[in-house]
């Protein structure tokens, strides 16, 4: 391990010098968001930014993924990752650079707004900033830097696609992989860390509740899937409260209900979109078994024939729990603290959100991971929230508007310091 502390002043000065152009990059990315799997222009922009810093850039890895390679003498490789995709959320921040992008979601054939409501635009600006700092300090480190722009994080598919298409065989295999995520519960200027499990695993389900449609004036001639779906939604709430050990972490959410087209027509089916969160595979499996039993039992009790029992499908949106390697996390914590100051690197509790960066570590042999949380709330705003009890807009909110400064500068400094802590001469 190398202590980047002696370079602290230069790292901070370089990040400050680059900040105006990084903020402009952030604003441009925020103005032009692209949904998961459609990040063509975003990918090209990040590839261009990395190439300008002297990296050998490769595109089209796992869809719209980008890998930039900066070799700087002998030594191990370290990977840093930023996610590229945005969300189907119509922006309501009122920012002068607010997104006005609208697109059609194919599966529902409806127009939706598109917004960087999860901070991925900030993550990209931070990665580019860290790369610029490191490229300007070749004398301070030795080894290989991999800068990865990952597509489709929001669907949980992007990291798997990049692994499947050879990110760890076509390029130098990293001895460690680093990422960060903005956090509106942490003051801007600070970085949160946690060894071990930092965020939950996630599995999504599509439950198709089937019945026999008919006229609303003659409900006795149908088997109403809307009523069955309502019962399913309520009974699913008992999976966590009555079937999972209270000492375990488990969350079950019904996030969407789709069924019917007219007031007086009973449909043939209703689709529920369900999401599970957990820390262990055992808890996930208990939840899945309980869901299968409850859903089919409710349908049978409503008189649904065997051939029309509910269909439960896993569409592929699944990620393992995000587990930080304890030894790597301690090295990163010490390195970041030596540049940002120990008071600005703080321990945080476990999170119930999920992150497919965990997939990069779930290979054979495993790659140690360290995933940090980057403060993204002005201290005065946090204090006002605590005083009034009004929550600040959180991730995925149409009103999520983190302050670019000092968030981008802090993230750039933290990521550059973390790499120097692992590759420093």
Q: Do 163 and 182 belong to one domain? A: yes
The answer for residues whose C-beta is within 8 angstroms of residue 173's C-beta and 6 or more apart is 77, 367
Among 14-18, 168-172, 313-317, 347-351, which is the least confidently predicted range? 313-317
Mean pLDDT of all residues in 257-276 = 97
Q: Do 390 and 301 belong to one domain? A: no
Q: Do 179 and 207 belong to one domain? A: no
Is 144's pLDDT higher than 80? yes
Q: Do 406 and 259 belong to one domain? A: no
Q: Which of 313, 334, 356 is the last residue of a domain?
A: 313
| CA dist 174 → 69, 80, 369 (Å) | 11, 10, 10
| CA dist 214 → 211, 220, 262, 270 (Å) | 10, 9, 11, 14
Residues 170-215: tens digit of each pLDDT: 999 999 999 999 999 999 999 999 999 999 999 999 999 999 999 9
Residue 1 pLDDT: 53
Q: Which of 267, 289, 313 is the last residue of a domain?
A: 313
pTM summary value:
0.92
**Which structural domain, as residue segments, surrounds residue 23?**
5-199+321-423
Residues 218-248: tens digit of each pLDDT: 999 999 999 999 999 999 999 999 999 999 9
Is 305's pLDDT higher than 60? yes
Cis peptide before 365 (omega within 30 of 0): yes
Q: Do 195 and 211 belong to one domain? A: no
Q: Which of 313, 341, 361 is the last residue of a domain?
A: 313
The single-letter DSSP state of residue 390 is: P
Is 293's pLDDT higher than 60? yes
Task: Name the domain count of the chain.
Answer: 2
CATH of the domain at 264: 3.30.70.360
Q: Do 28 and 69 belong to one domain? A: yes
Q: Do 194 and 74 belong to one domain? A: yes
Residues 82-111: tens digit of each pLDDT: 999 999 999 999 999 999 999 987 666 688
Within 13 Å and on the Cβ side, how many CA atoms surround 99?
A: 29
CATH of the domain at 126: 3.40.630.10
Mean pLDDT of all residues in 301-321 = 93
Q: Do 28 and 164 belong to one domain? A: yes
Q: Do 305 and 165 belong to one domain? A: no
């Amino acid at each position: 391990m190398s202590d980047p502390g002696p370079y602290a002043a230069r790292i901070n000065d370089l990040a400050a010098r680059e900040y105006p152009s990084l903020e402009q990059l952030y604003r441009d990315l925020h103005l032009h968001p692209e949904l998961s799997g459609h990040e063509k222009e975003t990918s090209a922009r990040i590839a261009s930014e990395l190439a300008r810093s002297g990296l050998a850039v490769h595109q089209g890895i796992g869809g719209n993924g980008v890998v930039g390679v900066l070799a700087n003498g002998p030594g191990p490789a370290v990977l840093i990752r930023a996610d590229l995709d945005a969300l189907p959320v119509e922006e309501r921040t009122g920012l002068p650079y607010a997104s006005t992008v609208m697109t059609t979601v194919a599966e529902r054939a409806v127009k939706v707004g598109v917004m960087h409501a999860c901070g991925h635009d900030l993550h990209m600006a931070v990665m580019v900033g860290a790369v610029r700092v490191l490229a300007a300090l070749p004398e301070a480190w030795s080894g290989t830097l991999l800068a990865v722009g990952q597509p489709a994080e929001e669907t949980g598919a992007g990291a798997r696609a990049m692994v499947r298409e050879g990110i760890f065989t076509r390029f130098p295999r990293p001895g460690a992989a680093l990422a960060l995520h903005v956090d509106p519960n942490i003051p801007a200027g600070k970085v949160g860390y946690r060894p071990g499990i930092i965020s939950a695993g996630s599995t999504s389900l599509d439950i198709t509740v089937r019945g026999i449609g008919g006229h609303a004036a003659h409900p006795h001639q149908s088997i109403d899937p809307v009523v069955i779906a309502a019962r399913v939604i309520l009974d699913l709430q008992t999976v966590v409260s009555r079937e999972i050990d209270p000492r375990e972490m488990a969350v079950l959410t019904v996030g969407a209900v789709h069924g019917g087209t007219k007031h007086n027509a009973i449909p043939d089916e209703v689709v529920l979109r369900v999401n599970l969160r957990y820390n262990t595979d055992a808890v996930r499996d208990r939840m899945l078994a309980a869901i299968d039993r409850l859903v089919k039992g409710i349908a049978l009790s409503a008189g649904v024939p065997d051939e029309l029992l509910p269909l439960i499908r896993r569409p592929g949106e699944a990620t393992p729990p995000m587990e930080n390697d304890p030894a790597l996390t301690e090295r990163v914590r010490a390195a970041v603290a030596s540049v940002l100051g120990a008071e600005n690197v703080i321990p945080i509790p476990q999170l119930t959100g999920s992150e497919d960066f965990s997939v990069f570590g779930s290979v054979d042999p495993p790659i140690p991971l360290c995933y940090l949380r980057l403060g993204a709330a002005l201290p005065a705003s946090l204090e006002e929230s605590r005083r009034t009890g009004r929550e600040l807009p959180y991730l995925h909110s149409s009103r999520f508007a983190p302050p670019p400064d000092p968030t981008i500068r802090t993230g750039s400094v933290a990521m550059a310091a973390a790499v120097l802590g692992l590759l420093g001469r």
